[in-house]
């Protein structure tokens, strides 16, 4: 019998925000996989490290951090590595930052493996809710429409979506911070915007957007916009 593929949401950073289910499954699986930058540690693995049993086999999928989509062959190869364990009857847990199905690269592995193997997705605490908690303000209330937008969208598209929404979460801020600052100023939304980096981690940083300089931000940062503020 084939093994089962698990997509495990490990939350935004603080290991205490991992679910009981994520921790239990990690204690039971013989193989753990994670995505990592070309030359660094996997953030998701670092979050879950204390729950990975000694002697567990590990698959590290190296993903180049370049703008634009990764080549399909990268996920084809990674899926085949995981499939080899699954075909051998071993369960594999793929560690995913936040939630596996919210802008997670796990979706590309799932596309390739779900037609062939049984899968279970364990949802995680998302960066959206973690950043809202850190900012001390609600993401949305009553009948407000919340837009979730990646900073990688072109200016015109970002402006349209930010103008339409009552509140917004802008993900993947990183090198786009100066551009986003200019764009939000144009829309008169600077005062409504809060910046949050590394939410729930030891180096969490929360600031009014107006107080930030024009430098780049870390990849794990977000801008929350609330027109109700």
Ligand X SMILES: C[S@@+](CC[C@H](N)C(=O)[O-])C[C@H]1O[C@@H](n2cnc3c(N)ncnc32)[C@H](O)[C@@H]1O
Residues that bind ligand X (CB under 6 A): 12-13, 97-99, 102-104, 126-127, 130-131, 171-173, 196-200, 219-222
Nearest residue to ligand X by CB is 98
Provide, rounded to whole angstroms, the least separation between the CB of residue 150 and ligand X.
8
- Structure-block tokens of residue 122: 């364990």
Q: Closer to ligand X at the Cβ: 117 or 126? A: 126
C-alpha–C-alpha distance, residues 52 and 49, integer Å: 5
Least Å distance between CB 91 and ligand X?
22
Q: Pick the closer one to ligand X by CB: 44 or 113.
A: 44
Minimum Å gap between C-beta 9 and ligand X is 7
Q: Rounded to the nearest whole angstrom, what is the least distance from the CB of residue 206 to ligand X in the complex?
A: 10
We find the least distance from the C-beta atom of residue 87 to ligand X, in angstroms, to be 28
Nearer to ligand X, 45 or 85 (CB): 45
55's tokens: 């002697």
44 or 82: whose CB is closer to ligand X?
Answer: 44
Tokens 């084809």 sit on residue? 76
Q: Are 82 and 33 in contact (CB under 8 A)?
A: yes
Q: Which is nearer to ligand X, 71 or 218 (CB)?
A: 218
Sequence-separated (6 or more) residues with CB below 8 Å from residue 107: 100, 101
Q: Which residue, 3 or 7, has its beta carbon nearer to ligand X?
A: 7
- For residue 156, give every residue at least 6 positions away whose Cβ sits within 8 Å of its Cβ, in sequence order, or none: none
Residues 181, 190 contacting (CB under 8 angstroms): yes
Q: How far is the CB of 90 from ligand X (least distance, A)?
A: 25
At 83, give phi and psi (nearest 5°).
-60, -35
**CA–CA dist 29, 12 (Å, integer):** 22
Buried/exposed 200-216: b ≥16 CB within 10 Å, e otherwise:
bbeebeeeebeebeeee
């Amino acid at each position: 019998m084939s093994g089962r593929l698990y997509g495990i949401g490990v939350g935004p950073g603080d290991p205490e925000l991992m679910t009981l289910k994520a921790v239990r499954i990690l204690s039971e699986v013989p193989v753990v996989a994670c995505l990592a930058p070309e030359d660094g540690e996997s953030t998701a693995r670092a979050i879950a490290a204390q729950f990975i049993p000694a002697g567990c086999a590990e698959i590290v999928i190296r993903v180049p951090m370049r703008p634009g989509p990764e080549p399909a062959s990268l996920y084809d190869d990674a899926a085949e590595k995981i499939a080899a364990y699954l075909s051998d009857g071993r369960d594999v847990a793929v560690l995913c930052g936040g939630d596996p199905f919210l802008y997670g690269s796990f979706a590309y592995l799932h596309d390739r493996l779900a037609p062939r193997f049984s899968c279970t997705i364990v949802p995680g605490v998302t960066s959206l809710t973690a950043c809202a908690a850190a900012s001390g303000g609600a993401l949305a209330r009553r009948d407000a429409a919340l837009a979730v937008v990646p900073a990688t969208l072109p200016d015109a598209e970002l402006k349209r979506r930010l103008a339409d929404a009552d509140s917004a979460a802008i993900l993947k801020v990183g090198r786009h911070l100066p551009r986003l600052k200019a764009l939000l100023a144009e829309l008169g939304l600077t005062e409504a915007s809060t910046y949050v980096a590394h939410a729930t981690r030891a180096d969490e940083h929360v600031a009014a957007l107006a107080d930030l300089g024009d430098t780049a931000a870390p990849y794990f940062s977000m801008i929350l916009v609330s027109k109700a503020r």
